[in-house]
Amino acid sequence: MNDDAPEIQDAAVSPGGPAGGGGATSDGARPGASPANSGAPLEMRGDSPLTAIRRQGRQRRIKRALAMLEWIVAFILVGVGLYFLWFLVFPPAETGTVARQYTREDFRARLRALPATVESPGWLATNPSPRWRRIVIHHTATDSGTVEAFDRNHREERKWENGLGYHFVIGNGRGMTDGEVAVGKRWREQLDGAHVGGGADRKLNETSIGIALVGNFEHDLPTARQLASLKALLNFLRRECNIGLASIVGHRDMSSTACPGKNIYLDEVLLVLANS
Ligand SMILES: [Zn+2]
């Protein structure tokens, strides 16, 4: 909106411009007057009817100039009006990209509407290590992504030998299938994660199962299918690894980070798990 303000000022200034132009028209009237003056010495008679006619002519010209000025001002006002109407009907891209603000109620509503079935998971085959003490939920902080892309990024950019730092990635329909649970090498081979470093407890990655949901939940909501898969996966891991509800946490509960985003209300997820 700040961008609009100078426009208004500009628009407010420009009627002043033509007003200056009005000054110019009165200047234009003066040259009209000077021929009258220069005409006077030529026609020595200078009788009053002729002066009256000249005066009337001058007044007519001034009137015409004023009428034109009115038109110009009217055009500018209509232009400014149309300009604002345009932005009212077609808001600029800036305001268009401002993300919708989601609330706890939005998240709860999505949890209530979970798809009933989740495809029979391939995660059941593993024989989990007894060292897992907690589950840490993450978002990828990207709008889209595939497990292969995250794996490549962690392997090549972060130079992690075992690649993908999470044990599981849940797709959101952009890159991976919506609700698809990808099982990482670190889960298949029961390796330490690489997703919750930097805490006081250096052993966090050795004892924490990492689940990442594709998306940026600072702005968006997880999809219903993602939440359904998360619920099923959490229930599976709780059973398999004997992990209590209190040990299912968000990344931000362990480290100073916004992950997994303000639109994930983990307490609501835990409530659903407790009642299921
Ligand atoms: Zn995280």
**Are residues 138 and 82 part of one domain?**
no
Say whether both 90 and 195 belong to one domain.
Answer: no
pLDDT digits (tens, 9 = 90+) for 239-259: 999 999 999 999 999 988 999
User: What CATH code is carried by the domain that includes residue 222?
Assistant: 3.40.80.10
Q: Which residues span the domain enclosing 246?
A: 104-274
pTM of the predicted protein model: 0.64
Q: Which residue has the higher pLDDT, 74 or 35?
A: 74
Show which of 76, 97, 118 is a domain's final residue.
Answer: 97
Regarding whether 178 and 162 lie in a shared domain, the answer is: yes
Residues measured by CB to lie within 5 Å of ligand 1, the ion: 138, 251, 259
Same structural domain, 138 and 236: yes
Instruction: Please give the distance, rounded to the nearest whole angstrom, from the Cα atom of residue 140 to the centre of ligand 1.
Output: 7
Mark which of 82, 97, 112 sits at the end of a domain.
Answer: 97
Structural domain ending residue among the three candidates 97, 121, 146: 97
Say if residues 121 and 233 touch (Cβ distance below 8 Å): yes
pLDDT tens for residues 66-87? 999 999 999 999 988 898 888 8
Q: How many domains would you assign to the chain?
A: 2
Residues 222 and 230 sit within 8 Å (Cβ to Cβ):
yes
Name the least confident of 3-12, 60-69, 124-133, 151-160: 3-12
CA of 226 to the centre of ligand 1 (A): 16
For the chain, counts of helices (H) and of strands (E):
9, 5
C-alpha 25 to ligand 1 mean position (Å):
70
Q: Tokens in use for 85?
A: 């109407």
Q: Are residues 169 and 260 in the same domain?
A: yes
Indicate if 163 and 230 belong to the same structural domain: yes
Task: Let me know whether 111 and 246 are in one domain.
Answer: yes
